[in-house]
Amino acid sequence: MARLPVTEAELVARYGPHLNQAPPGGWESEGEYDRIVDTHCCFCGQQCGIRLKVRDDEVTGFEPRYDFPFNEGKLCPKGVKRYLQGSHPDRLLTPMRRDESAPGGFRPIGWDEALDTVVGEIRRIQDRYGPDSFAMLSGVSLTNEKSYLIGKFARLALGTANLDYNGRYCMVSAGAGNKKALGIDRNPNPWSDIPLADVLWTAGTNIAETFPITTSYIWRARDRGARQIVQDPRVVPHARTADLYLPVRPGTDSALFGAVLHQLIRHDWLDHEFIEQHTNGFDEAAAAVADMTPAWASGITGVPAARIEQAAEWWGTAATGMLLHARGIEQQSKGTENVLAAINLGLATGKFGKPGCGVSTITGQGNGQGGREHGHKCDQLPGNRDITNPEHRAYIASVWGCDVDEIPGKGVPALAIIEAIHEGRIKGLLTICFNPVVSSPDTAFTREALSKLEFMSTIDFFLSETAAYADIVLAGSLHEEDEGTSTSGEGRIIKINAAVTPPGDARRDWEILLDIARRLGRGKYFDYAGTRDIFEELRVASAGGTADYSGATWERVEAEQGLFWPVTGDGHPGTPRLYEGGRFAFPDGRARFNAVPYRPPAEEVDDEYPIWLTTGRVVSQYLSGTQTRRIAALVAQYPEPLCEMHPRLADGLGIADGDLVTVSSRRGSITLPARVVATIRPDTVFIPYHWGGDRAANQLTNRVVDPTSSMPEFKVAAVNIRPAGGQAATVDERDLEISDAGAAIRTSGRREDRQ
Ligand SMILES: Nc1nc2c(c(=O)[nH]1)N[C@H]1C(S)=C(S)[C@@H](COP(=O)(O)OP(=O)(O)OC[C@H]3O[C@@H](n4cnc5c(=O)[nH]c(N)nc54)[C@H](O)[C@@H]3O)O[C@H]1N2
Ligand SMILES: Nc1nc2c(c(=O)[nH]1)N[C@H]1C(S)=C(S)[C@@H](COP(=O)(O)OP(=O)(O)OC[C@H]3O[C@@H](n4cnc5c(=O)[nH]c(N)nc54)[C@H](O)[C@@H]3O)O[C@H]1N2
Ligand code: SF4
Ligand SMILES: [Mo]
C-alpha cells in the first residue's frame, strides 16, 4: 500500500501553525474597547477560538484567535457576526407573563412573581398528576456546568424522570453507534488526524457550509494528494472538488456501506491481523453483506455500481483513511445502523487508533459533545453513566449526597416527551435552550401538543417560537455573559470566559435554576457560589465514567489550549486519539463488528407523494434561527427558505427558478420559492429548516424515530410538489433595514402563532 509522500512535519512547515496572519499591528489596533476577552464562538461544535472586544460592559467587536490550535485565526460568517445579538432590541431584559391584553401577548413582571408562579405550578401539577407529569427539555448550546446542573436539577429539584435534550435531534445515532461498536460516545480523532488521511470520505455532511473551519483540514489532506469521496444526495460545495461523488438516494446509506464491505471482502482488502486481534463479530457482519453486491446497492441507492467499487478500492487499499459523517446518515430511522455500517468499514481495514485513521462523527452543536456526557439525557447520569445501572446510581447518589431512591429512573426521549404532552400524560414543561416549535418534526403536532399544556415556562434570551407558548418566560443569559467549559467536536474541553454581565434584569441561566431549586425547598443540593463550584463537582461525578473529566481543571484547560477527555487524574495528559494501538473501550479491549441488514426508510415515495424530501442547513443560518435570523448581515445572505430542485424535476412540473411552489407531505405543506440547481438528485428536493411559522420545513417531516437512538427521520420524507402560482417576492429591503435597527425579521415567534 503506497503511502502519500508528505509527512506531518512537512505539512506543519508548509501551513502554519498560523495559516492566516493578523493585520499589521494586530486586530487590537482596530476599534474601541477597554478589554479583550479570549473565549470561543457560541455557535457550532467546532468552538473556534474568538476574542471579544468589550467597552462599557458591552461586546463591541471580535477578532479570531490565532493562538487557538483548532481555528488558527479563521472564523466562518456566523462566528464573525455572533456578537451582534447582545445588544439586540429583542433581547429579553425581564421575566414576562402571558397576558392576552398586553402588546405582543406578554407583560414584564418581577423575578419574585415569575419564580413563585413557576414553583407554584410545578407543585400544583406534580401534586395532582405525579412527579413525572412535569417534564424538562434542554439544549447543548449550554456549557458543561449548566448541562450537569440541569441533569441534577431535573432529578433532585423537580424530581422528574422526564428530562431530555435537543441533542436527541442531533448526536444520538452517532452516540449509540459509537458506544455499541467502539465503547465510547466520542469521535475517535483529533482533527489534526484529518490532514494525515490518504483517503477522506465524507458521508452526509455539507462540511463546507456546516463546519467551514474543518474544511481547511480537508484541504491540507487534498494538497497532499489525498483522495476525496463525497456521499450526499446533493453536490454540496465540498463535493465539487471531490475525486469521487456518490449521489446517494436519501435513506439508503446502509446499503451503500454494505456493498463497500462486500467488495472489501471479495477483493480481500482486509486487515486480517487487526480483525483477529482487535475485533469480534466479523463473520456475522460479513454474512449480512454476502448478497449486497454493488449492482444490488446501485438499484437501491441510485449510485452507479462502478463508483461503489471505486470507493471500496480506494478505502481498502489506502494506508490511512478517515470517514467523516454527520446528520445526513444519522438523522434517519436507521441512523444508528448507518453509523455501525460505516464503523464496520474502519474495522475491516484496521483504520482505528493510529494517525490519519478513523470513522468519526462531526458533532454539531456548540457543546454537542460535552452536553451529551453529564446526565442531560433521559437515560443518563454524569460521566456518561447509565441511570438504570444500580452501581452508577449509587455512585452519583454519593456525590450528590442524596438517597439513591431520590434519583428517578429512566425518562422518555425528547420527541416522546412531546408525544406524551399531546396525549395528556405530561401536563407541565420547563424548557431551556431548545426551540422545538421550529426544530421538532411535524410542526403542527408540536404546536398542538404545547397548546395542551396546563403550564409551560421557558428560559431564553429571545422570545423564540417556543417561548411564545410559555405562560412565564424567564430572561436568561447569552454565551458571553457566563463562564464555564465546553467540549468541542474533537473531544477537547475548552474554557468559555464571561465578557459582559446580563443586561437589564436578565439573569444567568444557572442562577435562575438555583433559585427555582431553593424555592422548591431543595436548595441543600444546590449550594454553589459560582459555576466553578459546579465544575468541581462535575469532575468528581465524572470520575471513573467513560467521559472522565476528573483531571481537568479550569487552569489546565486554559493553559493547555484545551484537554481531550478522558483526562483521568491530576497530570493526565488527556486523550486526543481514542483506541490507540487498537484497544477499544470494552473489558476485552475488542471492537464489535455489527451485522447491518438493509431496511428502507420509514416513508417511501409513491404515486401520491413521488418525490424525496431532505432537510438541513445553509452556511449563514444557525439551527432554529432565533439567533441568526436577528442578524441582518446574515439574513441578507439567505433571507428565506428555498426549495432546491433539479432542472429536470422543475421542467417536468413546469416550474422556473424563483417560482413559488407548494410542497406537501402527509403531515402538512409549505409554500416557498423554488431554487433550480443542477447540484441535487432529480428525484429529491432539499429545504433548509432555520425558519418558523409557515416557513418551517418541519411542517413536512415525519415523527418516526430510530428504534435504538430515538432520533427522528429528518432526512427522509415523501412529498409532492405543485406550482403555487406567482413568483417569489424578492426580499423586502425595508425588512433588512428594520433588522439593522434590530427588530426581528418576520420571525414567527408571535402570539398569533399559538393555535
Ligand atoms: N451554517 C450552519 N452550520 C452548522 C449548523 C447550522 O445550523 N448552520 N448546525 C450545527 C449542527 S447542530 C449540526 S448537527 C451540524 C449539521 O451538519 P451537517 O450534517 O453537515 O448538515 P445538514 O445540512 O443537516 O446535512 C448534511 C447533508 O446531508 C445530506 N443528506 C440528506 N439526506 C441524506 C441521506 O439520506 N444520506 C446522505 N448520505 N446524506 C444526506 C444533505 O444533502 C446535506 O448536504 O451543523 C453544525 N453547523
Ligand atoms: N428538519 C430538520 N429539523 C432539524 C434538523 C434538521 O437537519 N432538519 N436538525 C436538528 C438538529 S441537528 C438540531 S441540533 C436541532 C436544534 O434545534 P434547537 O435546539 O431547537 O435550536 P436552537 O436554535 O439551538 O434553539 C435553542 C434555543 O435556545 C436559545 N439559546 C441558545 N443559547 C442559549 C443559552 O446559552 N441559554 C439559554 N437560556 N438559551 C439559549 C436560543 O435563543 C434558541 O431559542 O434541530 C433539529 N431539527
Ligand atoms: S465554524 Fe462554528 S465555531 Fe467556528 S466561527 Fe463558524 S459557527 Fe463559530
Ligand atoms: Mo445538531
- CATH of residue 30: 3.30.200.210
- Inside any domain, residue 713: yes
- Inside any domain, residue 494: no
- Inside any domain, residue 595: no
List ligand 2's pocket residues with C-beta within 6 A. Answer: 139, 141-142, 166, 169-170, 327, 331, 364-365, 432-436, 439, 459-462, 464, 476-477, 479, 509, 615-616, 623-624, 626-627, 689, 697-698, 701, 714
Q: Which atom of ligand 3 is nearest the CA belonging to 40?
A: 3
- Inside any domain, residue 269: yes
Domain end position, chosen among 41, 62, 86: 86
| Whether residue 372 sits in one domain with residue 238 | no
- Inside any domain, residue 562: no
| Whether residue 261 sits in one domain with residue 155 | no
The pLDDT value recorded for residue 83 is 65
| Whether residue 295 sits in one domain with residue 204 | yes
Euclidean distance between CA atoms 363 and 189, whole angstroms: 12
- Inside any domain, residue 552: no
Euclidean distance between CA atoms 354 and 320, whole angstroms: 9
- Inside any domain, residue 724: yes
Ligand 3: residue whose CA is nearest its atom 4: 48
Full-model pTM = 0.94
User: Does residue 735 surpass a pLDDT of 50?
Assistant: no
The pLDDT value recorded for residue 512 is 98
| Whether residue 380 sits in one domain with residue 471 | yes
Indicate if ligand 1 lies below 6 Å from the C-beta of 715: yes
Q: Give the count of domains, the chain.
A: 4
CATH, residue 670: 2.40.40.20
CATH, residue 269: 3.40.228.10
Euclidean distance between CA atoms 687 and 723, whole angstroms: 16
| Whether residue 44 sits in one domain with residue 71 | yes
| Whether residue 532 sits in one domain with residue 666 | no
Tally of residues, the chain: 755
Q: Could you report the per-residue pLDDT of 309-337, keeping only the tens digit for each?
A: 999 999 999 999 999 999 999 999 999 99
Residue 726 makes CB contacts below 8 A (sequence gap 6+) with: 659, 660
| Whether residue 386 sits in one domain with residue 523 | yes
Domain end position, chosen among 523, 546, 569: 546
State the cell numbers at 140.
Answer: 447543548
User: Does residue 393 surpass a pLDDT of 60?
Assistant: yes
The pLDDT value recorded for residue 627 is 85
Give the 3-state secondary structure of residue 578. coil
| Whether residue 48 sits in one domain with residue 35 | yes
Q: In Å, what is the CA distance from 585 to each residue of 7, 182, 278, 382, 534?
A: 30, 6, 11, 18, 28
Query: Could you list which residues have their CB under 5 Å from ion ligand 4?
Result: 170, 364-365
| Whether residue 176 sits in one domain with residue 162 | no
CATH, residue 131: 3.40.50.740
Q: In what order do the strands lie in the sheet with 563-564?
A: 484-487, 492-496, 563-564
For the residues 186-212, what does the mean pLDDT come to? 97
Domain end position, chosen among 343, 361, 379: 361
DSSP E strands, 597-683: 611-616, 643-645, 659-664, 669-676
- Inside any domain, residue 112: yes
For the residues 413-425, what does the mean pLDDT come to? 98
User: Does residue 469 surpass a pLDDT of 60?
Assistant: yes
- Residues 119 and 501: beta-carbon distance below 8 Å: no
Q: 624 alpha carbon to ligand 2 midpoint, in Å?
A: 5
Q: Residue 193: which domain range? A: 172-361
Q: Which atom of ligand 1 is nearest the CA belonging to 170?
A: 14
| Whether residue 280 sits in one domain with residue 206 | yes
| Whether residue 248 sits in one domain with residue 116 | no
Which range among 426-435, 698-707, 731-740 shows the weakest confidence by mean pLDDT?
Answer: 731-740
Grid cell 470566559 is found at: 497
DSSP character string of 669-725: EEEEEEEE-SSB-TTEEEEE----GGG-GGGT----B-TTT--B-TT-EEEEEEEEE
Q: Could you report the per-residue pLDDT of 640-670, keeping only the tens digit for each?
A: 999 999 999 999 999 999 999 999 999 999 9
| Whether residue 435 sits in one domain with residue 539 | yes
For the residues 570-581, what does the mean pLDDT come to? 96
